[in-house]
């Protein structure tokens, strides 16, 4: 039995607990959240604390789940490793590369501990099927990627939201949500060498971005176009993957809010006999097992010593690095945020 603590017991922390408690070898013994009053116990006997530091100091844990705001996520992850815990941390891994780099250094000193980051989209069935097709080579080589991931203006985005505060969030829509699309573009296209971008906060006028546009070329010759937006008229997720022998289109993604539409994959097969009109096959997914599958892989890595397949600390660092390279590729945004002075390196 592995004793589990959850640092950050809001919407995400509670949803993670549902998946954690479904695994017999995991037992949630304590949680922490700033919304609690004095330390105490939940009705089911689970201990609770106001601060993750008290959680780590008072409880003997085997596993720590970090579901905190960006300003303390890296600190809590690092502290968990130092205490000898296997750690699962939500995205983004931190506000800066320096923060995540410090976690990586501790992880190198504790190779017996598993560290995993919650890049949940890799576990959606549409993404896994797309990756299987790409890796099989049946549609040839990837040529280009076009991705749009955005939230509508109906989402709370005002001065009371910590996501609008640069010192807490570290960044806006690109770091908070678009990082998932950036991660998928690395998954399908490799590492990117050339980047052009436009980053803007012109609509909401906060100190974090509400739109980011990027045009990138990878070391594998893949060109990628990205739009991460907080000004969509409705929630949207779409990733087009162009290949030499066809195309894959991921449209919609199942989520707790169910606001991104039906999750579908369309596969187009180019054939000379079709006179330029490819055959298409569309599959719709009706169930989202991504959260439970992600936790199950983490459990397997802990108990069987298997490697972290997705969301390793190196993966998290490289994805965050690409996010900041997109920020820095826009001279105006680099100057506005201080990136020109190397503050985020």
Please list the pLDDT of the chain residue by residue as tens digits (345 residues).
999 999 999 999 999 999 999 999 999 999 999 999 889 999 999 999 999 999 999 999 999 999 999 999 999 999 999 999 999 999 999 999 999 999 999 999 999 999 999 999 999 999 999 999 999 999 999 999 999 999 875 445 566 688 889 999 999 999 999 999 999 999 999 999 999 999 999 988 888 999 999 999 999 999 999 999 999 888 999 999 999 999 999 999 998 777 888 999 999 998 766 666 778 999 999 999 999 999 999 999 999 999 999 999 999 999 999 999 999 999 999 998 887 654 454
CA distance 300 to 297: 5
β-bridge mates for residue 265, sequence order: 250, 283
pTM score, two decimals? 0.94
CA distance 163 to 61: 30
Strands 263-269 and 246-251: antiparallel
Measured from the Cβ of residue 136, the count of other Cβ atoms closer than 10 Å reads 8
β-bridge mates for residue 200, sequence order: 211
Q: In what side-by-side order are the strands of the sheet with 263-269?
A: 192-200, 211-218, 223-232, 142-152, 236-243, 246-251, 263-269, 279-285
């Amino acid at each position: 039995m592995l004793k589990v603590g959850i640092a950050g017991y809001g919407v995400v922390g509670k949803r993670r607990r549902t998946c954690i408690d479904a695994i017999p070898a995991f037992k949630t013994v304590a949680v922490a959240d700033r919304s609690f009053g004095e330390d105490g116990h939940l009705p089911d006997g689970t201990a609770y604390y106001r601060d993750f530091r008290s959680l780590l100091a008072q409880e003997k844990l085997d596993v720590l789940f970090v579901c905190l705001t960006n300003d303390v996520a890296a600190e809590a992850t690092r502290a968990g490793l130092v205490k000898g815990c296997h750690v699962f941390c939500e995205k983004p891994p931190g506000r800066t590369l320096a923060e995540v780099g410090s976690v990586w250094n501790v992880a190198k000193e504790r190779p017996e501990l598993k560290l995993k980051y919650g890049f949940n989209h890799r576990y959606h069935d549409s993404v896994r099927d797309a990756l299987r097709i790409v890796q099989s080579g049946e549609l040839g080589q990837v040529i280009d990627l076009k991705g749009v991931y955005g939230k509508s203006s109906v989402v709370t985005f005002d001065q009371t939201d910590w996501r609008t505060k640069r010192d807490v969030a570290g960044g806006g829509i690109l770091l908070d949500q678009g990082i998932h699309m950036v991660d998928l573009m690395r998954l399908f296209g490799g590492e990117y060498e050339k980047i052009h971008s436009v980053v803007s906060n012109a609509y909401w006028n906060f100190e974090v971005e509400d739109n980011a546009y990027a045009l990138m070329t990878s070391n594998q010759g893949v060109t990628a176009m990205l739009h991460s937006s907080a000004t969509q008229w409705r929630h949207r997720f779409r990733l087009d993957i162009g290949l030499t022998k066809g195309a894959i289109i991921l449209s919609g993604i199942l989520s707790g809010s169910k606001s991104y539409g039906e999750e579908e994959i369309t596969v187009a097969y180019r054939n000379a006999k079709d006179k330029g009109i490819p055959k298409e096959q569309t599959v719709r997914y009706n169930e989202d097992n991504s959260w439970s599958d992600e936790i199950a892989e983490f459990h397997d890595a802990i108990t069987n010593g298997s490697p972290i397949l997705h969301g390793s600390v190196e993966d998290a660092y490289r994805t965050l690095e690409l996010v900041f390279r997109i920020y820095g590729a826009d001279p105006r945004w680099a100057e506005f945020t201080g990136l020109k002075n190397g503050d985020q390196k």
